[in-house]
Amino acid sequence: MPTGLQIPYRRERWIVGAADALTWPLRLRPRPRGGVPSRILLLRLERIGDLLMVVDAIADLRAALPDAAIDLAVGSWNRDLAALIPGIRTLHVLDVPWLARDGGGDSPATLVRRARAWRGQYDLVVNFEPDIRSNALAWLTGARRRFGYWTGGGGSFLTDRLAYEPGEHVADNAARLVATVLERSHVAPVPFPAASWPRLRPPPEALARAAALLASGPGPTAQGRSQNATAPRIGVHVSGGRESKQWHLDRFAAVAAELARRHHATIVLTGSTADRPMVDTVKRSLAGVPLVDAAGAFDLPTLAALLASLDLLVTADTGPMHLAAAMGTPVVALFGPSDPRRYGPRGSPHRVLRVDLWCSPCGQVRLPPVRCRGHVPECMDGIDVARVVHAAGELLEPDPTTAI
């Protein structure tokens, strides 16, 4: 039985290890021979950033298998966003309870029924998540070949197993998984076109809503922007998504005010409806600053279109950070407990800011240490306003002799 499960909590590691021992006989079945797949199901059930970090791998698969029918299963929170990914035939929605918030999600019986309903529909399932539960869903589909990672448990449910590399970026792990699929299917990879930005394609109505929202503010028109490149629109996403990743709101306000002053910029505040109190706090400190309040005003496709219209986004490690990068928008990203080597923005020009502490990055985003709860943790508190303003300036007015 394999060891080396990448599960940080001892009790969970013991439970998953016991389940692996019980399912070990499944490995005795001969592995099916490789062949070119024609009906493919991809599993990516996690949150916004997790989906966006595998978009390039999905594009690699589509480029190498242009005639295959590729379907994608996501959580309902990502339904609208996943619809923007080119090359997907059908979207399936599964709200798995271990990822749904507020105690929601589909029941185990519903998940089993949904997975069994896919039997006979796919000859290949690719699970981008190192998780025993989603590996079990892949097995329940009855697909002849099932690729995924064994290091989160459930390797016996897979026909082809890889070790997830925790020191590598999520996108690199996903690309390696797809490369293995192609290699064992005897399919040559197709070089991904470097100029294919943005990675997502918002529909015309989302583009129109974003344009109208920006036009409602004091920012320059499209014509004016082309004539005056020194008047940027700068997005500021003030919510960290979780307490452990939250930066000081007064520092967000100070950054916004200084960037508006230095670059004659319009500030665009973004956030969900739930972020409204934080956005209002920052907004009250920006009297006299050219401002567009876009918080809670859009769905994810409109947010994608809005971010594509910005010259820069300042944010913590959030879903909008990955969405901006996917749309080709430069990003200043503030990192604390999460590791930028694994979760940093990819593709667009960016600057990652963090502080070197003995405990950071700890990776304990969902359940931080007790000493880090109830306030901005030290790893976020150590990032000062001057560093953020400087990093933003580097992206807004880059030195042509310096690589991004």
Residues in the chain, pLDDT under 50: 1, 220-229, 400-404
Distance CA 307, CA 234 (A): 9
pTM exceeds 0.85: yes
Distance CA 378, CA 357 (A): 8
Inter-helix orientation angle 132-140/10-23, to 10° = 30
> pLDDT value at position 195?
57
> pLDDT value at position 133?
95
Backbone angles phi, psi at 73, to 5 degrees: -105, 125
Cα separations in angstroms, 351 against 201, 296, 330, 365, 395 = 25, 26, 8, 21, 8
* pLDDT (tens digit per residue) in 183-233: 999 999 987 666 566 889 999 999 999 999 999 877 544 433 433 445 899
Which strand ranges, in their side-by-side order, compose the sheet holding 331-334?
Answer: 291-293, 266-270, 233-237, 312-316, 331-334, 350-353
DSSP state, residue 168:
S
> pLDDT value at position 226?
37
